[in-house]
Amino acid sequence: MAEGAVLLHGFAKPVEVDLLADLRDIVEQAPFRHMVTPGGHQMSVAMTNCGGLGWVTDRTGYRYDADDPETGKPWPAMPPSFRELAEQAADHAGFGGFSPDACLINRYQPGARMSLHQDEDEEDFAAPIVSVSLGLPAIFLFGGLKRSDTPRRFRLQHGDIAVWGGPARLRFHGIAPLADGEHALLGRQRINLTFRKAL
């Protein structure tokens, strides 16, 4: 996609059944919810997390937190199926030794979108971002290092993994409004798993 950014087509397909079973367990413990931005807007994407740290937003700002603010309990552990896939994808993309401590799980229903942003709430930008797409296809907007840079558009399909790090680590990115459709395994939704090293 750019220097330091790779799209691995179908990389997650061989483990889709394990991923979806583990996802079901996570969502039972930490249900999807629509978080509120510091500006007071409710996000169209529903979110939850697994791993030692979870990304959260509320009226006070963005942060990583070990506990789910809805339940007061730690986020569910990151399942081995998730961790191994993320580590292998990073390796494949040229980022050996990736060890994520956070996995943000995004659920898009038709019409949901994510506006252009940088992933910059992590302590350390040496580690890449590993982003797994499941379910309905989406248009990934992959911009430059300035918000005003015109993004390129990439179609992300079920099983695709995007990895960006190094010189691409702080590129702006987002998701165009999700088109309606029906996916054989996931129905009318897209799930995205975003692995980070937050600390």
Cβ proximity to ligand SIN: between 92 and 113 the closer is 113
Cβ proximity to ligand SIN: between 49 and 194 the closer is 194
Q: How far is the CB of 36 from ligand SIN (least distance, A)?
A: 16
Does the footprint of ligand SIN cover residue 114 (CB under 6 A)?
A: yes
Give the angle subtended at the CA of 176 by the CAs of 172 and 179, to the nearest 5°: 160
Does the footprint of ligand SIN cover residue 131 (CB under 6 A)?
A: yes
Q: H or E segment at 88?
A: helix 80-92
Choosing from 119, 158, 193, 198, the residue that interacts with Fe ion (CB under 5 A) is: 119
Does the footprint of Fe ion cover residue 122 (CB under 5 A)?
A: no
Which residues in the chain belong to E strands, given as ranges?
A: 5-8, 46-50, 54-58, 61-65, 102-108, 114-117, 129-135, 138-142, 152-156, 161-164, 173-175, 190-196
**114 interface partner picked from Fe ion, ligand SIN, none, CB below 5 to 8 A per type:** ligand SIN
Cβ proximity to Fe ion: between 83 and 169 the closer is 169
Residue pair 87/99 in contact by the 8 Å Cβ criterion: yes
Give the angle subtended at the CA of 53 by the CAs of 52 and 56, to the nearest 5°: 155
By the criterion CB under 6 A, which residues form the site for ligand SIN? 104, 106, 114, 131, 140, 173, 175, 192, 194
